[in-house]
Amino acid sequence: MYTTRSTLLQKLKDNDAVGYQDFYAAYRNLIRSTALKSHVPPADTDDIIQAVMMGIFNNGTFLYAKEKHGLFRTWLGGIIRHKICDYFRNRVTAPEIQTDEEPANADFEEIFNAEYRSNLLALAIDELRQKVQPEVFETFELCFRRNLSDKEVAMLLDAKPNTVTIRKKRCLETLRAIITQLKTADPELDLPIL
């Protein structure tokens, strides 16, 4: 289950290998999408991911401390920005490589926050998937991701329309609770409550 709350952060502070894997799974897409939107070529995004992970972990030690660094999102965004800047700086100084791209686009903060929100919502939906039965989550997917009506979903799943409505309601309530918890941890992020 995803969380930047104390459980995952504590696992990382305790050098827990599972915590590292959870962190990597939760944030690699965020790093990749932010790099791509900052004009890093797709072939080089894995290098950015690796550089960011090395900036987050020093010899296996998780470097974030809330008391010292403040909001996790701000700290993570700063590391990603610096690694992207380093990437472009190294490209500019290499004589065989010419680039017209800016080291980090002037709208980096806007890009990062949008990608962070998108990543967090995807992780919240993944947490929802883990909290409800598979058939309930399938109903959610069909109704909200594929925009099908309750009737259409009922026909596809061979279920009663009322069952679809109840499943949808259960998923929305659970997802709202997850998002509310995330908003409490980072109120400035402006996540929608659906």
Assign 3-state DSSP to the chain and report helix, strand, coil percentages, each to 5: 75, 0, 25
Query: Residue 132 corresponds to which tokens in the numbers above?
Result: 């409800």
- Interval 15-45: pLDDT, tens: 777 788 888 988 999 999 999 999 999 999 9
Average pLDDT over residues 47-63: 89
By three-state DSSP, how is residue 58 classified? Answer: strand
By three-state DSSP, how is residue 35 classified? Answer: helix
| Residue for token pair 């995330």 | 182
Calculate the alpha carbon distances from 171 to 123, 147, 177 in Å. 14, 15, 10
**Which among 137, 128, 173 is positioned nearest to 157, based on CA atoms?**
137
CB 134 within 8 A of CB 68: no
- Interval 95-112: pLDDT, tens: 555 555 554 455 898 999
Across 17-21, 33-37, 116-120, 190-194, the highest mean pLDDT is recorded for 33-37
pLDDT at position 2 is 46
